Structure 1
Amino acid sequence: MVSAVHSHRPTIKANNKSFKSRHATKSSIRAKNKALTQTPGKVEDADPSARKSPHQQLMSKLDRRNKARQLQQNKHKDLVKETRIFDGRKGAPRIVAVVTLCEDGDARAAVKQLLGSLELEGDVPEVGSLVTSVERFKQKLQWLTPPRDLLPTLDACKLADFVVLVLSAQQEVDPHGELLIRSIEAQGISNTTVVVQHLETIDPPKRRPDVKKSLHSYISHFFPTIAKVNSLESPQEASSVIRTLCTQHPKGVHWRDDRPYLLADEVRWTDADGLAVTGVVRGKGLNADRLIHIQGYGDFQIDRICECPTAAPAAASGDSMALDNTESAAAAVLATPTTEQDTLEDLAPEAEMQDISDAVSEVPTNMTDRRGVLLDDHHYFDDDIDAINVPYEAPRRLPKGTSSYQAAWILDEDSDASDLEDEEDVAMVDDAVDPAAPRPEDGVEGLAGPAMTEAMTEYGDDKSEMFVDRAPEQELAEIEAFRRNRGNALDEDREFPDEIELHPNVAARERLARYRGLKSLRSSKWETEEDRPFQPENWERLARIGNYRAVKNKVVSEALVGGVAPGTRVCVYLRNVPADIEKDWARGGGKVLALYGLLRHEHKQAVVNLSLTPSSEYADAVNGGQTPIKAKDELVVQVGPRRLVIKPLFSQAGGTGKNGVAKFERYLMPGRTTIATIVAPVCWGGVPAVFWRRQEGGGMELVGQGSFVNVDQQRVVAKRVVLTGHPFKIHRKLVTVRYMFFNAEDVAWFKAIPLFTKRGRSGFIKESLGTHGYFKATFDGKINPQDAVAISLYKRVFPRGSEEFRG
């Protein structure tokens, strides 16, 4: 017997009739109207808020699968396109750089052991280049064995598709080897493989796995993706390395692959054609209208690009891969420059900037007539220059309607006459003079109320004291004793790194004539007209880029189309190239010669900002007592294909405020990122930058690494100086300050600058006392006797130019 289940009819659920629009929602009505107005045969997107049927959900799942399949196919097409230059026996060889990190490492022996695992032979040079054909994988490998020097190794790794790092089982990686690792990693590296030599010499044999494990732990600190350290003495592991080099897809270096580049297989020089470089185009297409950069020599124009027949793959060095003159003469011309070819001019023409340079050739004459320092965008006390030497006149009470002429005839004793006794008829006729307003000698900031002006002294008297200047000899002795006692405290505290001390005989208004005041470093407006007389000679001729990111995207997109296709073996003829390039290449020495195609505008000089993060070795040296690098010290920087000698300005990283002002830093401090500003050629994209410092013995010390930030000429690097004084007498908020200035004229000149203390109080100069630079100041609260009173002054510093590194 089946029991019936009883359920009550729901009373709170309303089943509205779907065909009645009274109960329809706005979204359903909108979807219905959209379906009525839809064009026949046209599929439009449905309302995202509409509920989907199971069939629609199934279709969207199929759409997602189709989209994922299309993305996968596009990625596969891109992969095939990138690896097409290596396909077949006639493809371009894969460049493999062999770098020894230990002193007993032998790159030549390492290459021989790798080739011997597949029974391949070749005359491997001690330093140089070798091309071998691996018939088993239908690939060609070009081995680069640079000398164990920093710059040749970096040049080889910059071009390599694969980098083989050679370790030793007998010796540890020395400091020079660690310098190579850090520099290679900083400039950008493609696929990396690690091998070890002399592992068979480790006895007993059961210790060999532990040695390999220790080496893997060490190298994983720099390259975490390394899965295994292969032994060259093992034929199985050596052949596995060769298989990886021939079959693995090189990930490349991003900044390098955005530009065309070419490794020189042959270099010829003739008086008729100039320099001709033969090699395989890699990266992007080689455009004849763009410039070519040769590292260490500069930028050059392309005369023509000719097709070069593929040479027979011979197991020899690059010297045996020369082409006959008759063969190159009959080669077809693939590309020639057009009328839009880039010029070698790195500055704007002088004719365009002539009107500007004439306007700023001399210092404005009105600068010598000014009576006060520049605060933000205004020179205080310039509105009424003659009023400074006019004695102060108290406001007078005059009858309504009295003119200035009539007021001159009214004597002070007549101001109490009967016609002035009526309070309703008395008014102030001069609206510009307010009895409650600050006096002109008190500064623009103004003074506090009567309680401030009648403040008591530190001794509690209701009457103000008479100020008496000290004798000059006594004053100098007290200043020396005060600064000598504060020396250690400043070194330990270091809260005022920009503090300077002026000699009592030096006028601050002359010593700091270029400095100005800012109420806020982040928001106060920076008046650029004041800096124009001090600009460098070619400042107005530098390239200016309004929107760096937008222009970068446009220029990089231009390089995606056109030019000689990658994988083509060509012979590039260059104009006005010195013959020393061919002689240096023929001399050998393990140095590689490469042509790097520049993008549009990458030869123009501009104000360049580079990020710089100091290395751990530099931090250890500074913490150990070594003097940190000062701004404008000479450094060597490698930015993409260029290597420059620079003298950078250091400024705070993290962006600027809305006024575009960044604070100048005197030293490269370890542990934080700094912006290095120089005048150098433009570069597009976040290209890595590596910084070194030359040593006395001719070596290079790694300073740090960073990247190319942007091109910004409007960014102001402001150098700050802090003048400090000592509270001499304190009464509540009224303080007498000394040792900041040493004459009354300096106090009057810097009167508009706001004061601050080390503990966060703010105030302003009230009036000068005597002739030795003492002054009264009012603060927003009571200050401590051990506190220091200070003002901040700023001036703009301009970056210096750069030179091509010839090393």
Structure 2
Amino acid sequence: MGRVNNNGHSHRASGLKQSNKKFKTKHSSKGSLKDKNKGKVNRKVVHGKKDGTLNKNDRKNSSKVGMKFKNQQLKTNTKVFEGKLGAPKIVALVPLCPDVSVLNLAEKLAQSVNQPFEIQGNQITLSAPQLKQRLQLVLLTRDIYDIMDACKVADYVVFLLSAQVEVDALGETTISCIQSQGAPTSFNFVQHLDREPLKRRPDIKKSLSSFVNFFFPEQDKILEMDNNMECLTTLRSMVSQVPKAMPWREGHPYILSDKVEFLANPNQSGTGTLKVTGFLRGNNMNANRLVHIPNFGDYQIDRIEKADHPFARQHSSMGDEMTDSDNMKLLAVPDAELQDSLISSNEPDMMEGEQTWPTQEELLEAENSLKNNNNGSKKVKVPKGTSSYQAAWIVDDEDGEDGEEDYEDDMDVDEEEEEAYEHDGPEEYEEIDMNDDNKSVAPFDALDEEEEMRQFEEYKKQREAERREHLEFPDEVDTPLNVPARVRFQKYRGMLSMRTSPWDPYENLPQDYSRIFQFQNFARTKKRILTQANDGTVEEGTYVTLYIKDVNNDNGHLYHPERPFIVFGLLPHENKVTLLNFAINKYTEYTEPVRSKEPLILQFGFRRFRIQPIFSEHHHKGKTNNVYKFQRYFENHSSAVMSLYGPVTFTTAPVVVFKENPANLTHPSVVAMGSFLDHDTTRIVAKRIIITGHPFKVHKKSAVVRYMFFSPEDIDWFKPIQLHTKHGKIGHIKESLGTHGYMKCLFNDLPKQHDTVCMSLYKRVFPKWNTEIFVRPNYDYVPDEMPSQKEGHGMDFD
């Protein structure tokens, strides 16, 4: 009789029972039989081909499709130059040395194809039969603005070097700017090589090749200008090659003018219509879009006409002659409802926010105060010995405390300078009376040249001293003695972490932010705009005359036939003002300090502006709040983000930043280079200041700190903000001690007696609303070598 389990448990076989392989099961393994007996469902094996692998027919078809696409793209890029009436390729001749002559180079190139040498303005057109295409040579002087404007529209760039004189600073700056702007295919010629001994010529060419290789490694061959065969080979190479695309300009139509004429408006004095004739390149043009003229600005198109083709007469005997009705055919007229507006900024509604209406007593008090300011004398605090005329040029901080100017107090005068003006003793400063008559106390040129230079040198030394102090004690400021710290730093806030602490980007915005345009989805708008960029009715390659309306006749001095005159078409919204952020790098040859809000010249893409930007750090480092530290100085060998108000751009345009040189207006100094970053209007640029204190007594992890504040009220006000030391300790204020600003602080570790206790405060800063179109300085333009300079020095718009 079997044993009975009193607990009610009976043995059951488990699934781990051994299963022996059956006889004659062929290729079945023990493992497969075991899985099958366990009841597992086998995974279905996909017998299709692997991803990314193509069979022979698919590879052939893919190659055929790719070849077809490349051929189609090649035809699109070259169709504007093909045919008997095709547009010529633009070749910019750039001199890099002071003793070279681009005019002689143009003569040598024309002689290599046996063509008579004819110059119109600053252009020469080569149309020899053996070339099969035309080349338009643009002769340039050593003017960096003219060179960069010509390279914006050029298909090829020819650098002319000297065998006897090295490339000077201006030449290096020129080739660096062209490289940063984005240069098309380049060629390099050397002049005066025949004056050197035969033994030295290979070494000279090798040295010049090494110089060019630094900027353009793929085009470092040096060609001899006096060698007729090399000139002819270069021209044939230009004709046979496809010009290298420059992405930032390909979406825009542009014209290098052959003829410019001004038609005065009889109905409105002071304005008129500007006629610009030339080949349309880059893209199709829409008459509803705006156009941009460097040095002039943005304008609307009145109409577009088909102009008399300059090469039509050469083929009249072959049946290509055009009638007058065909030559002046109207191509496009803008639609009044669809034409882009010239309005570039919003008009803020001053009554939109809530406002309490002032009482009658407040109005009378304000009126009396205004009368007293107008009739009475104004007192300002200046250094002793300063005359009233000199005091008129000193910025009074009290004038900058109104409303929207609150966010500018940190730029024009540093906090340290403000403290000096406001709180220094009477032995260094005095008050003088200022009245309206002070404007005529002394003439503008009262100082002689030596005194002017002496003051300028002192100013430069002061700027350098401020920069060195900033490098040694970055962001550190002193707490004022006779002004409460809670009042002096009332616009600042504390942050636990600059990377992660939240900050509302729409909090306390200045009035200028209501004037800019913001995109709800910039990526989607950009995709739509670029997709519709080629919807113009006037095709690329057409010889047209643009009628640009409402041009001011005062701009007549800005045009000269010896300078390149270019016109670029804008995409929709590209004249609207928004916040622009640029990623830039300091130019290695420029070592002067560059402060935020310092006047500079910005060229990005085909536009050029006068700006006063602010700089901020250019790295993320795990940021989640879009807050970036403001930089007072743009240091050497560093990168930064430059922020300013400017027009919208939909392409990643290259950027070059200049500093105007008062001694030579045509040769500015290059400050930085870079590219466009984004239109992020929520980017927060936070200025940091650090107020410091000294440990008076230290006991374990606590310390008595003094000299950070000078009243118990200030200590209680800033008590929630975290402290840190220069040796890496973190702490907080526990309580105030006494009435002279002593306070007890606790730290996470034992502080040192020689350590410095710091508190970081932050305030958001914004750019100034002062971006304006760059207008070339009005100076007499007399080229050194242009044969047509005797015909006139400009176009009179009157």
Q: Taking structure 2 as the reference length, what is the TM-score of the superposition?
A: 0.74
Deviation (angstroms), 1:147 = 1.6
Identity %: 35
Following superposition, the deviation at residue 325 of structure 1 comes to 14
Report the CA distance between 1:312 and its aligned residue. Answer: 3.1
Counterpart position of 1:307: 306
**1:170/1:758 Cα in 2 relative to 1: closer, same or farther (>3 Å)?**
same
Match of 2:145 among 143, 151, 163: 151
Secondary structure, aligned partner of 1:729: strand
Aligned counterparts, 1:18-417, within 5 A: 25-28=42-45, 47-48=48-49, 60-124=55-119, 128-203=122-197, 205-271=198-264, 274-312=273-311, 330-337=328-335, 339-350=337-348, 353=349, 356-357=352-353
Residues 734, 778 of structure 1: 8 Å contact kept? yes
Q: Is 2:702 aligned against 1:734? A: yes
> What letter matches 2:131 in structure 1?
F
Look up the equivalent residue of 2:739 and give its one-letter code: T
Please give the secondary structure, in 2, of the residue aligned with 1:752: coil
| Number of the residue aligned with 1:512 | 489
Per-residue deviation, 1:565: 1.4
Aligned length: 628
1:267/1:800 Cα in 2 relative to 1: closer, same or farther (>3 Å)? same
Amino acid paired to 2:329: A
* Equivalent in 565, 572, 587 of residue 593 of structure 1: 565
> Counterpart of 1:616 in 2: which secondary structure?
coil
| 2:286 and 2:535 in contact (8 A); partners too | no
- Structure 1 residue runs of 5 or longer lacking an equivalent are 1-7, 32-45, 316-323, 363-475, 478-487
CA contact under 8 A between 1:263 and 1:594: conserved in structure 2?
A: yes
1:375 paired residue number = none
Residue 331 of structure 1 and its aligned partner are, at CA, apart by: 1.9
- Equivalent in 625, 635, 638 of residue 669 of structure 1: 635
Superposed CA deviations along residues 200-251 of structure 1, whole A, max 9, x for unmatched, are 1111x13212211111111100111114111011111111111112111100
2:292, 2:570 within 8 Å by CA — same for their partners in 1?
Answer: yes
CA distance 1:308–1:491, shift in 2 (3 Å): closer
Mapped to 2, the partners of 1:513 and 1:492 lie a distance apart of: 25
For the residues of structure 1 that align with 2:94 and 2:763, how far apart are their CA atoms? 48
CA pair 60-782 structure 1, distance change in 2 beyond 3 A: same
**Partners of 1:234 and 1:514 in 2: CA distance:** 70
- 1:660 pairs, out of 616, 626, 631, with 626
Query: SS of 1:538's equivalent?
Result: helix
Quick check: 749-758 or 267-276, which moved more? 267-276
Q: Residues 66 and 11 (structure 1 numbering): CA distance in 2 closer, same or farther, change over 3 Å?
A: closer
Amino acid at match of 1:669: E
- What residue in structure 2 maps to residue 318 of structure 1? none
Whether 1:707 and 2:675 are equivalent positions in the alignment is: yes
Mapped to 1, the partners of 2:755 and 2:40 lie a distance apart of: 76
Q: 1:679 to 1:662 in 2, by over 3 A?
A: same
Letter in 2 for 1:131: T
Shift in Å at residue 501 of structure 1?
1.3
Superposed CA offset, 1:552-607 (max 9, x none)? 2221111033332111111111221123456643x43x211111011111100111
What CA RMSD, in Å, does the superposition of the two structures yield over aligned residues?
3.2
- Deviation by residue 1:230-278 (Cα, 9 ceiling, x = unmatched): 1011111111111112111100321111211111111222236722211
Deviations 1:689-736 (A, max 9, x none): 100101220331001101111111111111000001010000001100
1:692 aligns with 2:658: yes
Question: Secondary structure at the residue paired with 2:130?
Answer: coil
Give the superposition deviation at 1:129.
Answer: 1.4
Unaligned ranges ≥5, structure 2: 1-23, 266-271, 315-321, 359-423, 426-464, 777-798
Q: Distance in 2 between matches of 1:259 and 1:327?
A: 29
Cα distance between partner residues in 2 of 1:584 and 1:595? 14
Q: Which residue of 1 aligns with 2:765?
A: 797
Q: In structure 1, the residue corresponding to 2:752 is in which secondary structure?
A: coil
**Structure showing greater Rg:** 1
What letter is aligned with 1:184?
Answer: I
**How far 1:307 moved relative to its partner?**
1.7
Q: Is the 8 A contact 1:305 1:333 kept in 2?
A: yes
Aligned to 1:437: none
- The CA distance in 2 between the partners of 1:66 and 1:529, in whole Å, is 55
> Is contact 1:108–1:124 with CA below 8 Å preserved after alignment?
no
Q: Is the 8 A contact 1:304 1:337 kept in 2?
A: no
Change (3 A) 1:359 1:693: farther
2:298–2:342 contact (8 Å) kept in structure 1: yes
In the superposition, relative to structure 1, how do residues 122 and 359 fare at CA in structure 2: closer, same or farther (>3 Å)? farther
Change (3 A) 1:15 1:766: closer
Deviation at 1:134, TM superposition (A): 2.2
Q: Cα 1:360–1:313, aligned 2, differ >3 Å: closer, same or farther?
A: farther
2:127 match: secondary structure: strand
Conserved? CA contact 2:275–2:545, under 8 Å: yes
Whether 1:543 aligns to 2:517 is yes
1:521 maps to 2:486: no
Is the alpha carbon distance of 1:583 and 1:510 closer, same or farther for their aligned partners in structure 2, counting shifts above 3 Å? closer
Alignment of 1:459-478 (within 5 A): none
Distance 1:328 1:221, change over 3 A: same
Q: Whole-Å Cα distance in 1 between the matches of residues 174 and 471 of structure 2?
A: 36
CA shift digits 1:368-397 (9 cap, x unpaired) = xxxxxxxxxxxxxxxxxxxxxxxxxxxxxx
Counterparts of 2:475 and 2:189, CA distance in 1: 51
Contact 2:210 2:220 in 1 (8 A): no
Q: CA 1:11/1:47 → structure 2, altered by over 3 Å: closer, same or farther?
A: closer
Q: 1:306·1:334 contact (CA, 8 Å) conserved in 2?
A: yes
In structure 2, give the amino acid aligned to 1:706: G
What residue in structure 2 maps to residue 503 of structure 1? 480
Conserved in 2, the CA contact under 8 Å of 1:498 and 1:722?
A: yes
Once residues 188 and 356 of structure 2 are traced to their aligned partners in structure 1, the CA distance between those partners, rounded to angstroms, is 59
Distance 1:142 1:530 in 2: 55
Paired with 1:781 and 1:491, the residues of 2 have a C-alpha distance of 32
2:612 paired with 1:644: no
Contact 2:477-2:690 within 8 A present in 1 as well: yes
Instruction: State the distance in 1 between where 2:326 and 2:568 align.
Output: 22
- How far 1:333 moved relative to its partner? 2.9
Counterpart of 2:716?
Answer: 748
- Alpha-carbon deviations, 1:759-795, whole Å to 9, x = none? 1111111111122211111111111111110100001
CA distance in 1, matches of 2:470, 2:646: 38
Quote the Cα distance in structure 2 between the aligned partners of 1:592 and 1:358: 53
Conserved in 2, the CA contact under 8 Å of 1:132 and 1:314? no
Query: What is the CA distance between 1:82 and its match in structure 2?
Result: 1.0
The alpha-carbon deviation at position 27 of structure 1 amounts to: 2.8
**Which of 540, 563, 575 is 2:549 aligned to?**
575
Structure 2 CA distance for partners of 1:738 and 1:155, relative to 1, 3 Å: same
Residue 279 of structure 1 deviates from its aligned partner by: 1.2
Give the counterpart letter for 1:311 in structure 2. Answer: P
522 and 332 in structure 1: CA distance in 2 versus 1, 3 angstrom threshold: same
Which amino acid in the other structure matches residue 605 of structure 2?
G
